[in-house]
Structure 1
Amino acid sequence: MKKSLLVLLIAAACGNASAQNLTVEERLARLEKTLQENSAELAKTKAELTHYKQAAANNEKDTPVINAINDSSENSTTENTTFTLKEISDYVKEDIGFAWNGYLRSGWGAASNGSPKEYAIGSLGRFGNEYSSWFDLVLTQRVYEQNGKSAHAVVQLDGNVGAQYGSAWFDKDSENMLQFSDIFLTTRGFLPFAPEADLWVGKHNLPKYEIQMLDWKNHQTDSGAGIGIENWQLGAGKLNIALVRQDLDAYAVTYPAVKESGAMQVNTNTVDMRYKDLPVGGNTTLELIGRYSMANKSGAYKTGEQDGHYYSIKDAWLTGGILRHRFKMGGFEELTVQAADNSLASGFALISNSGATYGYRDNYYGEHSYGKAFRVISQGEFYPSSQTVMAHALVYSAGNDIYSYDTGAHTDFRSYRAVVRPAWIWDNHNQTGVELAWFKQTNKQQGVDYTEKGYKTTLYHALKINSSMLESRPELRFYTTWLRAADNAISQFRFNDGRKDQLTIGAQAEVWW
């Protein structure tokens, strides 16, 4: 009985015995042979696994690897190809076409007399003088790549998270903000006359150039939406050109004296052009910049202008050049010269945010009378020795017959700003230094002089990843700052309790990735 059952099971496992005309003994012999072959294959696989583990152990401990094995036959040689995890990560990023990068800064501060207050950041500098928590997040996804043509979708979010209260909901006060500053599609290889250039359409603008220590843009064009070409190789340099839209709320002539004055939306457009990377010699290049902003007024607004009910919106231009130089010992120097008229010139006279914009934020107001202004800006850093580094931002501005958002129409102004930051380099991860700042601005309006003057001293120690002050992040800073508003006839600024000065201590983190 048992023998018959064993025969049936073997027959079911091995197939139809009668069809093969094999005895039970023959089938058992085949099964034994197959088992031996499988055991040999398993032993070979274990041996290979042990070899791979030993190879991985022989690599540097901080460089994880994966070995790719090519074994096409039993007699072929085994080829080991080693990849680091970074190489694998880069491959995966390239394969899926997705990337994200960003920026953030945040910190803690306390003042000698109540909550710490920022004062004239655009003139005295931001170090030890800013208490917000700003961030940028950029998401990029490749959506097409074939035959030398590519397309990427880009979304950028900017915002500020309140650093004063425990809750930071975006519907709580004006301290918490969020915006989509970029939503656009950028392509390459689709222009037959410039296959190397980037063509984009959407809410975007050409790159903004920043005076980093003063936290304002010396050249920018804000965009509601637009179209542009970047990195178009023409002759010795590259051309960037964009047409962008930035509508403004244009106010009645009673504004700002009467805050409830009515406003009307006015469509405005700007042509922004940059001819960059022009070789001058050695490590020096030149960029020529220019923009022209104009209003596309409705019939209703034109009637309001003619009736004297609304401010007259005038076209405005800005032109200039930027000379950039790289030092062989490290560091750089950037010299900018600019001139502008009408509302773009008005931005030159602002004490805190001196960026040149067609409107004041998203508003247009003021009696702009074809006044003009110019400025010279120097920023950069250099290494006097292997153990010291010096950063600086120097600005001289002047204008005649402009509209000042502080002192009104037909204002002449002169402005001087100087910020220097020397530091001792202990090593690539530690710096100790001081930032010294001074500014003075005089606005003359209807024969009356209005003077603003301030000082700042910041002592600090920074934990870093490199010696550069302006080009290495992340960075952790621990500081104490003394601020003084010596004269305040333009801004009317006062610290807590009407004081002219403030002493603060704080810590700040800043990183981009």
Structure 2
Amino acid sequence: MKSSKLLPVVLSVSTAILSIPSYADNKDIDDLSRRIQELEEKFDKEYSEQESQQPEVLSSQSDDTFGIHFSGYARYGAAYQAGDSKLVSTDDALNGNATGRLGNEGNGGEFQFGKTFSNDTGAIWNIDVMFNHWGDNVEVPKAYAGVTNLYESQPNLYIWAGRNFNQRIQTDLNDYYWMTTDGQGAGFNNFALSETLKLDASFVSAVDSGPDDSSNGDYAITTTLHGISFGESSGVTLYANWGFDDKSDANSGNRINAYQVAAKFNLDNNNIVVRYSDNAKDKVLDKTKDQQALLFSFDGSYDFNQSASVAYLTAFQTYKDGEYSQYDRKDYNAVVRPMYFWDDVNSTWLEFGYDRVDFSNEDITNSSWKVTLSQNISFGKGSDQRPMLRFYTTVGDADNEQSIGTNGAFTSATKQDTLTVGAMWEAWW
């Protein structure tokens, strides 16, 4: 991806440099410099969406001249376990990888191929297919087509149909997807309600695993309202989702609905998330009667100077199980990651994480902590620069008193310590 991106810029810049002797004055050179900057910004904009694994949302300014592109996310490596457990986790945690993800993750990846092209009317199309590998499973979570620049009144409206990542929203330090509605269906992005205010919406069905990949009778309508700003670097995004069943279930008389509402406030380099779910938790496609979840999360980063920074996260979630009241619980977690960048390639990170789960109706507490020291070699300077080679050591402890079992019963858990030394590469492209 990076080489494909840089080649046209390099050619353009080289051609421009060779042409400098023919320019008559400084004005022409200034115009040339501005043109080179515009080219670089254009390519950066075109591929910024592809470097994340969100849906590739095109606009009327998208370029279709690069044929087939390859993007993805992956991490693979080896880790030597010298303690009771290779990874540190709290049993029955609610907030993702709540003790922190650095040096505390497994292997896997998502690999996407796509093609963008246009027709004579100016409409710009794309087709994307992804396969992923997590654990022992290889699946196809994305296979969809989309189009933009169809309507003069809505040039940046993007319409898609197929199987897609949908409304997949994450906090990074604990790798928690606190709202996700992946499935098969159709939707649109960037319907302009005003010059800045835009609406995304979709109708999707959950998908059963198996050879026919048929719908399992669970459906969702999702909406996202974005473009609400409070200045140059602050704003809020609003979410509202509704989950429901069709009549394909043999127990159709027990059909239930679910809903989620959420707000994500962006304040400079900080994010505040508030989310409430009824008859659901993270997904309205996964419904349980009387289940409720309320999440508060705060994360962000601060740069002390060009070489030192810190990333941080704290979250609290209260959860009502719906089926078994003894499983009602609260999850508190905090992660802090100081980082020092020695130069444009080498950096040292130190991550501290703590997580605690209290069962509301039982005298049970599960908790864990960890510390990870990581020496990194990265593509560039900054916490978001990838590819990265990571050499790390993780120490920690999990003190789990009981774990959720079956039919409302708890199972005994044991205290486990962790000492792990590993090497891993991570990249998104």
- In the superposition, the TM-score normalised over structure 2's length comes to 0.76
Q: Which amino acid aligns with 2:102?
A: F
Q: Secondary structure at the match of 2:230?
A: strand
User: Cα–Cα, structure 1 residues 394 and 467, in superposed 2: closer, same or farther, change >3 Å?
Assistant: farther
Cα deviations by residue, 1:456-480 (Å, 9 ceiling, x for unpaired): 11112111233432x2211111111
Compared CA separation, residues 392 and 185, structure 1 to 2 (3 A): same
- Cα offset, 1:297, TM superposition: 2.4
8 Å contact 1:290–1:319 — kept in the other structure? yes
Residues 188/440 of structure 1: CA separation in 2 closer, same or farther (3 Å cut): same
- Amino acid corresponding to residue 394 of structure 1 in structure 2: T
1:111 aligned residue? 81
Give yes or no for the alignment of 1:358 onto 2:333: no
Q: How does 1:1-12 map to 2 (within 5 A)?
A: none
In the other structure, the counterpart of 1:227 is: 186
Alignment partner of 2:304: what SS? strand
Q: Does the alignment pair 1:341 with 2:278?
A: yes
Q: Does 1:475 align with 2:412?
A: no
Larger Rg over CA atoms: 1
Q: 2:342 & 2:129 partners in 1: Cα distance?
A: 40
Asked if 1:432 corresponds to 2:369, the answer is no
CA RMSD between the two structures:
3.2
2:318 aligned partner, one-letter code = A
Task: Call closer, same or farther: CA 1:461–1:420 in 2, change over 3 Å.
Answer: same
- Distance (whole Å) between structure 2 residues aligned to residue 234 and residue 135 of structure 1: 37
The 1:448/1:461 distance shift into structure 2, 3 A limit, reads: same
- 1:213 corresponds to: 173
Q: What is the DSSP-based 3-state SS (H/G/I as helix, E as strand, rest coil) of the residue aligned with 2:301?
A: strand
Correspondence for 2:263 among 292, 300, 321: 321
User: Displacement of 1:226 after TM fit?
Assistant: 0.6
Change (3 A) 1:433 1:339: same
Change (3 A) 1:219 1:271: same
Native 8 Å contact 1:451 1:490 kept in 2: no
How many angstroms apart in 2 are the aligned matches of 1:148 and 1:241? 24
State the distance in 2 between where 1:119 and 1:411 align: 18
Contact 1:382 1:390 (C-alpha < 8 Å) held by counterparts: yes
Matches within 5 A, 1:145-294: 145-160=119-134, 175-191=135-151, 193-223=153-183, 225-235=184-194, 236-247=196-207, 266-294=216-244
User: Is 1:460 aligned to residue 374 of structure 2?
Assistant: yes
| Residue correspondences, number | 366
Give the superposition deviation at 1:275.
Answer: 0.5
The answer to whether the aligner puts 1:422 opposite 2:338 as a matched pair is yes
Q: Which letter maps to 1:227?
A: A
Provide, for residues 174-218 of structure 1, a one-character-per-residue CA deviation record: whole Å limited to 9, x for no partner.
x32211111111001234652320001111243411112212212
> Measured at CA, do residues 95 and 193 of structure 1 come closer, stay the same or move farther in structure 2, by a change above 3 Å?
closer
Point out where structure 1 has 5 or more consecutive residues left out of the alignment. Answer: 1-59, 70-80, 161-174, 250-263, 306-311, 327-331, 346-354
Name the CA distance, whole Å, in 2 between partners of 1:112 and 1:103.
29
Alpha-carbon distance change, 416 to 114 in structure 1, aligned in 2, over 3 angstroms: closer
Please give the TM-score of this superposition, normalised by the length of structure 1. Answer: 0.65
Which letter maps to 1:375? L
Distance in 2 (CA, whole Å) between partners of 1:439 and 1:213 is 13
Pick one of 95, 100, 106 that aligns with 2:70.
100
Aligned-pair CA distance for 1:127: 1.0
Q: Which of the residues 112, 115, 125 maps onto 1:141?
A: 115
- CA distance in 1 between counterparts of 2:326 and 2:258 reads 16
| CA distance in structure 2 between the aligned counterparts of 1:214 and 1:155, rounded to whole angstroms | 27
TM superposition shift of 1:386: 3.1
Check whether the contact 2:341–2:382 (CA below 8 A) recurs between aligned residues.
no
1:46-82 CA deviation, whole Å, 9 max, x = no partner? xxxxxxxxxxxxxx9xx8669999xxxxxxxxxxx9x
2:400·2:415 contact (CA, 8 Å) conserved in 1? no
* Bigger relative contact order (CA 8 A; separation at least 6): 2
Cα 1:282–1:409 change in 2 (3 A) is same
In the TM superposition, residue 124 of structure 1 has moved relative to its aligned partner by 0.5
Q: Secondary structure at the match of 1:370?
A: coil
CA distance, structure 2, for counterparts of residue 318 and residue 356 of structure 1: 8
Residues 1:319 and 1:248: Cα distance change in structure 2 (over 3 Å)? farther
Q: 1:384 — aligned with what? A: 304
Shifted more, 107-116 versus 237-246: the winner is 107-116
Residue number in structure 1 paired with 2:26: none
Change (3 A) 1:448 1:486: same
Q: Which amino acid aligns with 1:358?
A: L
Structure-1 residue corresponding to 2:97: 122
Partner of 2:359: 443
Answer yes or no: is the 8 Å Cα contact 1:266–1:297 preserved in 2. no
Contact 1:206–1:240 (Cα < 8 Å) also in 2: no
SS of the equivalent of 1:213 reads coil
* In 2: Cα distance, 1:210 partner to 1:299 partner: 31
